[in-house]
């Protein structure tokens, strides 16, 4: 029996129509386009304005894009993993609802939350299910409606985040393509540096928590930046070393789109040419769980069968890691 590897065989993506540009943000908080661009690389981000639509809407749209482009029967999907930090609601799984809405009624589904590393962790999980031989088609969706937890009076966070979603399909591969190696880590020291203080079991919602804006995302930017730069670069470098890869062997770096300076630092550590680094942060900002699959959706034309692709991410908690994957197909 041939060894099973888990390969990405299709991708999809979705971003809302409304564009929140730096120029518009200048009218909302004390900031300016030059300051934002210089420090983050972000020019605009997409916002889901519909008050009655949540993260599930973004996820459904991205999944439907994948299903339509790849001509897949949703009934054949075995499971759906929903990577998100902004579920529609507590308890009732967003992934379960999404699976039903896209017609994947034969699949089981659940949510996975590891902040900005959610999709990266989800790749490991989806691949493991496929490699076990039990499941043939695993749909992994990364989606976040970050505008629902951003305080647009806090210039430290409102300039960073946007809404969006991406999806990939993992299937068995017998050519040695797909996920090759992973290095995933976490450290609870980050709990106080990037969080939403209230709304969980520790500090349940009250009038006071709402009044104090404790249901919005808060971060110590300098500390998060320091940890992200070090750990994303370290993880990526270790993956290369462990797999005897040089910078010449790497075809593409797919980094989490949190900050252009973090992306540049990771690429610099790997000594990669700028042309090998896939970046769309200037258009979407940080869509959290959506960043990695949105990069794949945007640059699918560039990816060729056999390409060595390095993924890297860092998120709250702290969570971080890197994955080495061999691309499995040429876009038709």
Q: What positions carry a catalytic annotation? A: 116, 256, 286
Q: By the 8 A CB rule, do 257 and 313 touch?
A: no
SS3 306: coil
The β-bridge partners of 138 are 79, 170
* CB atoms near residue 250 (< 10 Å): 23
- Residue 63: name the closest of 89, 17, 95, 16 by CA: 95
Residue 301 in tokens: 């034309």
Q: By the 8 A CB rule, do 192 and 68 touch?
A: no
Q: How far apart are CA 216 and CA 199, in angstroms?
A: 10
DSSP class of 5: E
Residue 4 in tokens: 């099973």
Q: What are phi and psi of 196, to 5 degrees?
A: -110, 110
Q: By the 8 A CB rule, do 56 and 101 touch?
A: yes
């Amino acid at each position: 029996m041939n060894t099973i590897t888990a390969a990405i065989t299709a991708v999809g993506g979705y971003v809302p129509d409304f564009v929140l540009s730096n120029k518009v943000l200048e009218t909302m908080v004390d900031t300016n386009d030059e300051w934002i661009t210089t420090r983050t690389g972000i020019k605009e981000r997409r916002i889901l304005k519909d008050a009655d639509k949540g993260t599930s809407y973004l996820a459904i749209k991205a999944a439907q894009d994948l299903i339509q482009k790849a001509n897949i029967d949703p009934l054949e999907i075995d499971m759906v993993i929903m990577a998100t930090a902004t579920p529609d609601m507590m308890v009732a799984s967003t992934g379960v609802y999404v699976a039903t809405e896209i017609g994947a009624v034969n699949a089981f589904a659940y949510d996975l939350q590891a902040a900005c590393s959610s999709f990266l962790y989800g790749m490991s999980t989806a691949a493991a299910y496929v490699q076990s031989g039990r499941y043939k088609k695993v749909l992994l969706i990364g989606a976040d409606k970050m505008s629902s937890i951003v305080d647009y009076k806090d210039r430290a966070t409102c300039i960073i985040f946007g809404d969006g979603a991406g999806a990939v399909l993992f299937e068995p591969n017998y050519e040695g393509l797909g996920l090759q190696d992973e290095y995933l880590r976490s450290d609870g020291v980050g709990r106080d540096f990037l969080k939403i203080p209230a709304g969980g079991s520790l500090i349940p919602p009250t009038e006071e928590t709402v009044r104090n804006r404790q249901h919005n995302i808060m971060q110590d930017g300098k500390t998060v930046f320091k940890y992200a730069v070090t750990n994303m670069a370290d993880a990526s470098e270790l993956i290369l070393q462990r797999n005897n890869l040089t910078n010449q062997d790497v075809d593409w770096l797919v980094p989490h789109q949190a900050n252009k300076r973090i992306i540049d630092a990771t690429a610099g550590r790997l000594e990669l040419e700028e042309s090998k680094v896939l970046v769309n942060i200037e258009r979407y900002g940080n869509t959290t769980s959506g960043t990695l699959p949105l990069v794949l959706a945007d640059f699918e034309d560039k990816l060729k069968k056999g390409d060595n692709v390095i993924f890297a991410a860092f998120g709250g908690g702290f969570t971080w890691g890197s994955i080495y994957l061999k691309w499995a197909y040429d876009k038709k």
